[in-house]
Amino acid sequence: DQQVKQNSPSLSVQEGRISILNCDYTNSMFDYFLWYKKYPAEGPTFLISISSIKDKNEDGRFTVFLNKSAKHLSLHIVPSQPGDSAVYFCAARGYQKVTFGTGTKLQVIP
Amino acid sequence: NAGVTQTPKFQVLKTGQSMTLQCAQDMNHEYMSWYRQDPGMGLRLIHYSVGAGITDQGEVPNGYNVSRSTTEDFPLRLLSAAPSQTSVYFCASSYSAGLAINEQFFGPGTRLTVL
């Protein structure tokens, strides 16, 4: 039972354009959501997070939006840069555990 | 600070062998966890610990044991390796406020192949 889903395994975007990565969840008890970025042969690194009491959080080029009624969150990257090419994982916090999605591989084309 | 360190980086085992994956952190984090990453499956939680002496099972605990005798170390033991345990293993640690886990810091991973 996949509680956190990233339905797009891959995404290609032109440099300078917006990248939108999506994530859906099923457990209404999740209270905190995070995005991680992963380069090949490295561990994931934290990117941005949002509390369930908010609907938007911004950090530079990265913005996360949360729609609780739809159990949906998205990560916007504007403008996209070639260095953003990586796998992005959505994650959701429950009681003592964090559940990850399957990841979306973003390719930013110069 | 070294952050989260994992050893070894690579390991090849034969079916039935046992081994321990080492994980250490120097950030005085209470919360530590082990994940495995498989193609198309994302990161799946194996075991976690909310503090020294306390461990619990995650989503895929079968075939693995853990212990947490110190705040710094959280080793993962494979009791009798099976080909299904071929994967990349990540250790992570986090500051936790009460029961709320904050952002996790990940190690570089151990790539394990079981023949």
pLDDT tens profile B74-106: 999 999 999 999 999 999 999 986 667 789 999
Chain A residues in contact with B33 by the CB 8 A cut-off are: 98
How does strand B42-51 pair with strand B19-25? unpaired
CB contact under 8 A, B90 and A49: no
Question: What pLDDT, on a 0 to 100 scale, did the predictor assign at position B99?
Answer: 63
CB contact under 8 A, A43 and B42: no
Interatomic CA distance for residues B110 and B47, integer angstroms: 16
How does strand A10-14 pair with strand A19-25? unpaired
Nearest to B39 by CA among A105, A97, A60, A78: A105
- Distance in Å, alpha carbon of A9 to nearest chain B alpha carbon: 8
Question: What pLDDT, on a 0 to 100 scale, did the predictor assign at position B101?
Answer: 78
Identify the residue among B104, B105, B110, B111 best suited for mutation to test binding to A, counting A beta carbons within 10 A and taking the highest.
Answer: B104
B62 pLDDT exceeds 80?
yes
Chain B, nearest residue to A4 by Cα: B42
CB atoms within 10 A of CB B80: 11
- Distance in Å, alpha carbon of B62 to nearest chain A alpha carbon: 17
| Dihedral sign from CA coordinates of B111, B40, B93, A34 | positive
Of the partner residues B42, B59, B105, the one whose CB lies closest to the CB of residue A101? B42
Helix (H) or strand (E) holding A72: strand A72-77
B58–chain A Cβ distance below 8 A for any pair? yes
Interatomic CA distance for residues A44 and A46, integer angstroms: 7
B40 pLDDT exceeds 90?
no
CB contact under 8 A, B45 and A97: yes
B41 pLDDT exceeds 90?
no
Question: What pLDDT, on a 0 to 100 scale, did the predictor assign at position B73?
Answer: 98
Question: What pLDDT, on a 0 to 100 scale, did the predictor assign at position B98?
Answer: 63
Interatomic CA distance for residues A58 and A76, integer angstroms: 9
Question: What whole-number percentage of chain B has pLDDT above 70?
Answer: 97
Chain B residues in contact with A41 by the CB 8 A cut-off are: 108-109
- Distance in Å, alpha carbon of B95 to nearest chain A alpha carbon: 12
Which tokens in the block code for residue B44? 């799946």
Q: How many residues does chain A have?
A: 110
- Encode chain A (110 residues) as per-residue pLDDT tens digits: 789 999 999 999 999 999 999 999 999 999 999 999 999 999 999 999 999 999 999 999 999 999 999 999 999 999 999 999 999 999 999 988 999 999 999 999 99
- CB-CB contact of A42 with B100 (8 Å): no
B33 pLDDT exceeds 70?
yes
Matching residue, tokens 């859906």: A24
- Distance in Å, alpha carbon of B83 to nearest chain A alpha carbon: 21
Which tokens in the block code for residue A28? 């209404």
Interatomic CA distance for residues A77 and A81, integer angstroms: 9
Buried b (16+ CB within 10 A) or exposed e, A25-47: beeeebebbbbbbbeeeebbebb
Chain B, nearest residue to A89 by Cα: B42
DSSP for B7-28, written as a single string: E-SEEEE-TT--EEEEEEESS-
- Residue-wise pLDDT tens digits, B42-60: 999 999 999 999 999 999 9
Question: What pLDDT, on a 0 to 100 scale, did the predictor assign at position A98?
Answer: 94
